[in-house]
């Protein structure tokens, strides 16, 4: 009997999408602070609309930052350099409203519950979680980077869309754009791409037929492997018609509104917290990175083909309140073994995460577009597989799933 078909869809957006403009400015501000002050506390939000960008939030630092200059540089580098695009990095209005982190939050983060109750002298007990919440990490064997195939393909499309725009290969393109990929699964395995949706902002006078043909050839054919496409694969190019008005002129943007684009494309659960503009004492960010680090090493070690981990925290408390794991029936060892290995080899207190992954560095703007996970183009510490051998050895496994 033939395995039943299921379909799963994920989306991505280009760096010129209004929400992604805001994510990138937020993380550029964070990078600027950390470059001067690795202990800086940053919660930076950005909003944008036609001709205008707001920077606001709570920042406590010894660094001296020209926030307006940072924002203008990011917006210009994205490609918003003309007023008819709705945003020009050189002439846009920039409004800032920055205050320091609330004293009660600062006290709980700077001196964790563990230290306040009974100081053990352990330096990794020093920092408490910057907020309560639950964070999710995920990995699977669908792609070499151990990410779900739909989101991996969606990101490849938007990165390629930006590339052909910036190199001038398709000079009529403008910065805004989106992709969406629907993958067909059989027996839980991806077998083909069913549908591709590509929305690309463009000059108003471009010929639609020419643009469609060139986007299929220069973007879709380059981003999606031919073996995944067949005669039944549908491609929708700007399905609403013209897309000459985009960016902040068409839609307001705000930091943190693309959490599924940033993570696993909806394939895994999500705790709800966004990443951009937050320093690593905020577990919304650091613990989500640590959870991906755990999940990727577990899958790469061959302990499971599909793995999800949830971490939960309380504000001001260093140690996670709970760890939940799910292997979706793919585990090669008992889940109690996997849990014990995680507790033995991964220190999930915020200070330990920051130390082991080197998170108090200016490394964040580069992941503010095209995904925070599964980035073979970047050397990200939470994507490294330095725990694979010890996990395999202690789990007594004889084979390993390669991530390369």
Give Cα 212 distance to the centre of its chain. Answer: 29
Let me know if 258 is a catalytic residue.
Answer: yes
Let me know if 45 is a catalytic residue.
Answer: yes
* Annotated catalytic residue within 11, 15, 19, 142: 19
* Annotated catalytic residue within 56, 58, 68, 332: 58
Let me know if 379 is a catalytic residue.
Answer: no
* Annotated catalytic residue within 72, 155, 165, 278: 278
Tell how many helices (H) and how many strands (E) occur in the chain.
13, 13
Let me know if 334 is a catalytic residue.
Answer: no
Q: CA of 93: how far to CAs of 36, 44, 57, 67, 152, in Å? A: 26, 18, 18, 12, 35
* Annotated catalytic residue within 257, 292, 372, 392: 257
Let me know if 178 is a catalytic residue.
Answer: yes
Let me know if 282 is a catalytic residue.
Answer: yes
Helix (H, G, I), strand (E, B) or coil at 262: helix
Query: Are 324 and 333 within 8 A, CB to CB?
Result: no
Let me know if 243 is a catalytic residue.
Answer: yes
* Annotated catalytic residue within 8, 11, 15, 20: 20
CA distance 185 to 193: 9
* Annotated catalytic residue within 41, 282, 306, 365: 282
Let me know if 214 is a catalytic residue.
Answer: no
Place of tokens 């938007």: 158
Phi-psi region of 186 (alpha: psi -120 to 50; beta: other; left: phi over 0): beta
Contacts (Cβ under 8 Å, ≥6 apart) of 372: 262, 263, 275, 288, 289, 292, 380
Let me know if 373 is a catalytic residue.
Answer: no
Let me know if 58 is a catalytic residue.
Answer: yes
* Annotated catalytic residue within 243, 275, 307, 373: 243
* Annotated catalytic residue within 279, 284, 308, 383: 284
* Annotated catalytic residue within 77, 88, 251, 394: 251
* Annotated catalytic residue within 159, 160, 174, 178: 178
* Annotated catalytic residue within 11, 37, 45, 326: 45
Smallest CA-to-CA distance from 44 within 65, 66, 29 is with 29
* Annotated catalytic residue within 156, 258, 365, 372: 258
Residues that are catalytic: 17, 19-20, 45, 58, 178, 243, 251-252, 257-258, 278, 282, 284
């Amino acid at each position: 009997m033939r395995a039943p078909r299921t379909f799963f869809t994920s989306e991505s957006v280009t760096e010129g999408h209004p929400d992604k403009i805001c994510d990138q400015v937020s993380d550029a501000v964070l990078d600027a602070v950390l470059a001067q002050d690795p202990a800086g506390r940053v919660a930076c939000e950005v909003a944008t609309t036609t001709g205008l960008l707001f920077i606001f939030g709570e920042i406590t630092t010894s660094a001296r930052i020209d926030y307006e200059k940072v924002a203008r540089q990011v917006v210009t580098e994205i490609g918003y350099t003309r007023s008819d695009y709705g945003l020009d990095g050189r002439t846009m209005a920039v409004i800032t409203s920055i205050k320091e982190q609330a004293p009660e939050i600062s006290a709980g983060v700077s001196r964790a519950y563990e230290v306040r109750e009974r100081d053990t002298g352990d330096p990794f007990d020093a920092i408490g979680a910057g907020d309560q919440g639950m964070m999710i990490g995920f990995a699977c064997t669908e792609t070499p980077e151990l990410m779900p195939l739909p989101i991996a393909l969606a990101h490849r499309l938007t990165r390629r869309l930006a590339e052909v725009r910036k190199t001038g290969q398709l000079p009529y393109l403008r910065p805004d754009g989106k992709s969406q990929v629907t993958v067909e699964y059989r027996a839980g395995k991806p077998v083909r791409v069913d549908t591709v949706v590509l929305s690309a902002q463009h000059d108003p006078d471009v010929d639609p037929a020419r643009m469609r043909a060139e986007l299929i050839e220069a973007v879709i054919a380059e981003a999606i492997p031919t073996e995944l496409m067949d005669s039944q694969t549908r491609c929708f190019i700007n399905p609403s018609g013209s897309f000459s008005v985009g960016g902040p002129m068409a839609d307001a943007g705000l930091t943190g509104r693309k959490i599924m684009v940033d993570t696993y494309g909806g394939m895994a659960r999500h705790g709800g917290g966004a990443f951009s503009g937050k320093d690593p004492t905020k577990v919304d960010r650091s613990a989500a990175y640590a959870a991906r680090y755990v999940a990727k090493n577990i899958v790469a070690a061959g302990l499971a083909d599909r793995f999800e981990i949830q971490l939960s925290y309380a504000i001001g408390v260093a140690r996670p309140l709970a760890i939940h794991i799910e292997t979706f029936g793919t585990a090669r060892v008992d889940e109690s073994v996997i849990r014990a290995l995680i507790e033995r080899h991964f220190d999930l207190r915020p200070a330990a995460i920051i130390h082991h992954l080197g998170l108090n560095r200016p490394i964040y703007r580069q992941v503010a577009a095209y995904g925070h996970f599964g980035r073979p183009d970047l050397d990200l510490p939470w994507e490294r597989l330095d725990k694979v051998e010890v996990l395999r050895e202690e789990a007594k496994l004889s084979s390993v799933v390669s991530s390369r």
